[in-house]
Every structure is written in structure tokens, then in C-alpha cells.
Structure 1
């Protein structure tokens, strides 16, 4: 079984500073009312059920999702700002781009996302790509830039949708089963030319 670990939080912002669009209907939804978060914060453990795992697999191009769970800490910050941090763990079945065989992969990824009101989030999204100092509130204690906050919608944060998003970000776009290999020069007249996984798949399909 292949393991994939992403020890550092992933940035989900594009060059223009906008977050990648989320699905309007999440396959894995766990809504948290921000008014229910105490001043000391709250710990939340999530686990996708069988139906949710099947829906995630269908929409995200996976053979199966055997497990998806996360342990999160939701903390209050200055004003009506919140931070969601924690770890997701998943076990998925992907299709090898070389052999086309299904194989299991274990995934572990860190989550660290700020949330703010929709108005404030929209205002701060314009500063991505520019220098942000600690006085702006969106740099860590070492002065490292952070992504601007995601918007709080209708007073709620969808923790499940956030976990699913980070799962998708952690997937290998060209999954390869351990031990699977191909002759990169076998598909081209140029022995120095490497072939993309898409070209390999095309050749495999033509030969089937």
C-alpha cells in the first residue's frame, strides 16, 4: 500500500488571489455555527460515512474512498475571525496511470485555514501576491504570508467540505502503483524524449 503525506498546509489560492471554487453541494458536509464556538475554541472530529465516501469517489475520479476522517481545532481570533487547523487521514483506491490497476493509498494532510465575514474575506483576497506584514493580521509569527481568509457563509463554516477539499488537493494527479514502471523511450522515436502519463494511457488503451 502506498502512503502519501503532506506535512505542510496547502495554499488553495490562484494567481489572482481567489480561492478555488468549491462545489455548491458538498459530498461531505459538516456545518458549524461560528456562534457556537466558545472563546476557548472547540475540537471537532469528523468521519465520512459509507455513502459520503462513495459520493466523494465518484466526483473526484477515485475507484473508492475506504476512509476519510479528520481531527480539527476551531479557534476564535480577533473580531469575527476564526481558524480551522488539524489533520485529515484518508485511505483511497486510485487507478495506476501505468498499469491501470487499482491500488490503495494512505493520505495524511495538514489543514490550516482562516475564516472571516464575507465582506472582510473579499476585501483581503485582493492582497494575495503582495507583501503582508504582521500588522495586517495575515502573517504568522515569523512574518510568513498566509492565504487570506475564506468567507463565513450564513454564519457557518462547512468543515466537511473543507476536509474534502484538502483531500482532493493531496491526491497525486498521476498515481502510480508501487513497483509499476514503463520504458519512457518505448513510445517515441526520440530516445531522449520523455512521455507524459496521458501518452502512456493512450498507448495502453490502443493495445487493449
Structure 2
């Protein structure tokens, strides 16, 4: 869950998205990147930029299509050594006017509720970055320990033995 005041906050009133749409370019400062890295539990975020295209929809929602580009450093899941990675994500979401019910269709875009018809574009980008992070970063050549070949070895061997007695 995001903090009350997001680390990378770029509020925008939905009413400022005119009928012709709007372009937004967001760049995170060093302090914002550092705070986001702490929030996501990674070693660092060296750069974070997003280009967004906002389009009004007939029902009052705003469609956001964007591309984020970030340079991050995560800890290797095997050695804990730093792993530098680039995260490039294309995404689309809908910003809903205040009081609008979230849709639940499997093919629907992700929807984000607004408070007082103000959306935080920085938080939208931060959430997309979190989704784009490698959940298992590894340095080149790092190998996970060999798994048990079957249930006669490893942590489940005792359970397998009990099951055979029945």
C-alpha cells in the first residue's frame, strides 16, 4: 500500500485534461528515487522517467497510456551482489472520477480511483515500476542450490516416509 504522501507525487486534476488530451513527462528527482528504492526494498534507482499520453473518455474517465524507463539496482537473490538492470514498461490505465465504481472485467484496463477528481500520476508510474521489477535478479553465473531430485531427498523426505507407512 502506498504511503499517505507518495514519494514521487505528481497530482493532476482530471479537469485539466482537455478534449484534445494532454502529454505529460515525469522525471523523478534523486530524493524521490532514493525514497522509492527504500519503499520497494531495492538497492537503488539511478533514473526514472515516464512519458504519458492522457485522453478523456466519454464517461468522464481518463485513459493514460505511458512508457516508463528506469535504471535500477537490485540485490542478487543468490549472492546479494548488486545487479544493475533497466526497466522499460509500456502500460495503460484508466483514471476514474471520484465516486465511480471500479470495473471488474478480465479484459478491462486497470482502473485507479481518484480523490476529488485528482490523480497522482507519479504514483501511477511508481506502481508500474514496482510491477516491472525483476522478482529474482541474479548476477551472471549465479546458480541457485540444486533442488532435491525426488521426494526421497531434501526437506520433504520425512513427510514422504510417513505417507508410505499408511
TM-score, reference length from structure 1: 0.68
- Counterpart CA distance in 2 for 1:39 and 1:87 is 22
1:167 aligned onto 2:96: no
Please give the per-residue CA displacement for 1:37-84, whole angstroms capped at 9, x wherever unaligned.
111101000000000010011111111110011000011110311011
Shift of the 148–174 alpha-carbon distance from structure 1 to 2, 3 Å rule, reads closer
RMSD of Structure 2 on Structure 1 (CA): 2.0
1:108 aligned onto 2:70: no
Q: Is the 1:42–1:73 Cα contact (8 Å) retained in structure 2?
A: yes
Q: Which runs of 5+ in 2 are unaligned?
A: 155-166
1:72 aligned onto 2:30: no
Q: Which runs of 5+ in 1 are unaligned?
A: 1-20, 130-144, 196-208
Residue matched to 1:57: 37
Q: Is the 1:92–1:106 Cα contact (8 Å) retained in structure 2?
A: yes
Q: Is the 2:98–2:117 Cα contact (8 Å) retained in structure 1?
A: no
Shift of the 149–183 alpha-carbon distance from structure 1 to 2, 3 Å rule, reads closer
Residue matched to 2:19: 39
1:84 aligned onto 2:64: yes
1:151 aligned onto 2:113: yes
- Counterpart CA distance in 1 for 2:123 and 2:112 is 12
Residue matched to 1:178: 140
Structure (1 or 2) with the larger CA radius of gyration: 2
TM-score, reference length from structure 2: 0.83
Q: Is the 2:92–2:110 Cα contact (8 Å) retained in structure 1?
A: no
Q: Is the 1:128–1:148 Cα contact (8 Å) retained in structure 2?
A: no
Residue matched to 2:162: none
Structure scoring higher RCO (CA < 8 A, sep ≥ 6) equals: 1
- Counterpart CA distance in 1 for 2:25 and 2:53 is 9
